[in-house]
Amino acid sequence: MITRNRPKARPAASAALAALALAGGLVTATPAAAAVTCNAPVWKAQYYANTTFSGTPKLTACDSAVAENYGYGDPAGVALPKDNFSVRWSLTRDFGSGGPFTFSAEAQDGIRVYLDGVRKIDLWRNVSTTQKRTVNLTVPAGRHSLRVDFAAWTGAANVKFGYGPRTSASVDTVRPLAPAGLSASLDRNSGRATLRWAANKEMDLAGYRVYRRTGTAGWAQVSGTALRTGTSFVEMPPETGASYVYEVRAVDRAGRESLGSADATVVSVDRTAPSAPGGVTATDGAAGIALAWQPVPGAAKYLVHRQRAGTSDAGTPAPLVQVATVTAPSWTDPDVTERTGYTYWVSAVDAAGNTSPRTTLPTAHGDYAPGAPTGLTATFVPQRGIDLTWTAPADTDVVSYNVYRNGHLSRDGVSGRTYRDLSVDNGTTYTYTVTAVDRAGHESPVSAAASATTEGDLVPPAAVTGLKATPREDGILLEWDANTEPDLLRYDLYRGEWIPDEESPGGGIWLFRQVEWIGKDATSHLYPATPDGETSAYALAAVDVWGNTLATDIDQVSRVEVTELGTPATG
């Protein structure tokens, strides 16, 4: 809490207003640049260094009441002039059912009071003594905003505002709102019913009355002659096993009672167990073992227990465990192992918690295809391919997976739950599904599809231009024009060897092999060839970041032939 020392002591609120206020003093104070939230009935106060409420407030604070005496100085804790300043208090709160209220204001100098933006009190003038005004008005039900504007022009400054309901029975003809949020629970051990509800918003609330009935009988008050001031009630209804319906009504200070709340029901303690379920059947299928039985009168739910055939690792019978609690007279057990026997017990439970004897039924689960894999994802990994991951089905006999791409089998016999597709093209979208295969060779339905798009394109960079070769003593100097492709990665240099055609004199082909990788910013390169007078060929191809390049055996690639310095070697 921040307390501001004022030039004069803050006056106490009147008795009627004090009943509506919290403890005196400011709750919080925050610089103007920070957001301030004040929870009703606390006021949000904004201080201005002018009387027009213009500009950014010099201070925003939370105030428990509008009751200030500034004397001949400015408010403490904020830099304001001692004259010509203003304060605005505002809040929004729920008035419940509304009704007749009294607004009281006094100030030196000016004060204005607004309800939902409509001015209700107007004493907006510079005065030398405190001026006062009280008005009676009706506030509609629900949430409403209040605003108090105060201006201190010259001289002493003080301000006070309060509001409260008029509770006289001759004036207040509005009944309270019906209580909301009623809930009821029963403690089976003690047989006590506990009711809870939300507090009403009326400011003139006197208390509550609790009513109870059974079936279509009339309501009877069970909360005693005194009004309940809290929001809970505990009683022990007759232990007949019957349903008891409760409602709560609010009472205001004028003695008017609200309509009843929404009903809440409890069923009293019942010690009689229902009969055991009859007609229990078990049907084996791929989804599991489906159990069904005849509905039991008075049953609120059914308990299903299961025991697996055979013995545990310790040689003892498998344990009997509860596997389901259901409200319908049927249930399918999906968590069963193929080619395994099971025994089921079904019992009924009524609303009071009494449990019937069990009905026993042995059955077995056959061999079926596994469920489909779930959670399939497809992720493109640059320079590697598309990675697939998935989650195995619940079946324990899955041995492998089949991967389908664009509806066609791409890879079978995948042992794990991941797969990398390496045979993908740039700039292409692929859609995948996966199936599971069990030991018997049963293939599951396909999983939900997952798609991924590879980056890049399939278009190679344009052919290198201006390629020329100059023989030198230290090798062959290759020069070319810079390639301006935005996704250029490098240049690949190839050297050609002439392969003569023995069946065609003078004929033959150049056979190229890659000899150098050259950086993308280069426009020349010295290849260290021996100056032996031989004629050789060179090809230069641009390569983009996606690996696209022109092949050396097509016409578009840049090639050049050159005769090295020196004398050709003789064989």
For 289, 332, 340, 411, 442, the CA distances from 438, given in Å and listed in that order, are: 19, 22, 16, 16, 5
pLDDT band at 391 (very low <50, low <70, confident <90, very high): very high
Question: For domain 374-453, which architecture applies?
Answer: Sandwich (2.60)
Mean pLDDT of the chain: 89
* Residue 75: predicted pLDDT: 85
| CATH code given to domain 183-267 | 2.60.40.10
* Residue 7: predicted pLDDT: 39
Which pair of tokens denotes residue 402? 């089949």
Strands annotated E in 153-263: 157-165, 183-187, 192-196, 205-213, 220-221, 232-235, 243-252
Check pLDDT > 80 for residue 555: no
With a pLDDT cut of 90, the percent of the chain lying above it is 68
Is CATH 3.90.550.10 the classification given to domain 468-563?
Answer: no
CATH of 15-165, one of 3.30.1360.120, 2.60.120.260, 3.40.50.2020, 3.40.1000.10: 2.60.120.260
pLDDT band at 417 (very low <50, low <70, confident <90, very high): very high
pLDDT band at 315 (very low <50, low <70, confident <90, very high): confident
pLDDT band at 31 (very low <50, low <70, confident <90, very high): low
pLDDT band at 554 (very low <50, low <70, confident <90, very high): low
* Residue 34: predicted pLDDT: 56
pTM comes to 0.46
Which pair of tokens denotes residue 65? 């009441």
Check pLDDT > 50 for residue 13: no
Which distant-in-sequence residues (6+ apart) come within 8 Å of 388 by Cβ? Answer: 376, 377, 378, 379, 403, 418, 419, 420, 421, 432, 434, 450
pLDDT band at 337 (very low <50, low <70, confident <90, very high): confident
Domains 374-453 and 468-563 agree in fold: yes
Would you kindly state where each structural domain of the chain is located, as residue ranges? 15-165, 183-267, 281-345, 374-453, 468-563
* Residue 133: predicted pLDDT: 97
d(CA 425, CA 430): 10
Q: What are phi and psi of 528, to 5 degrees?
A: -80, 70
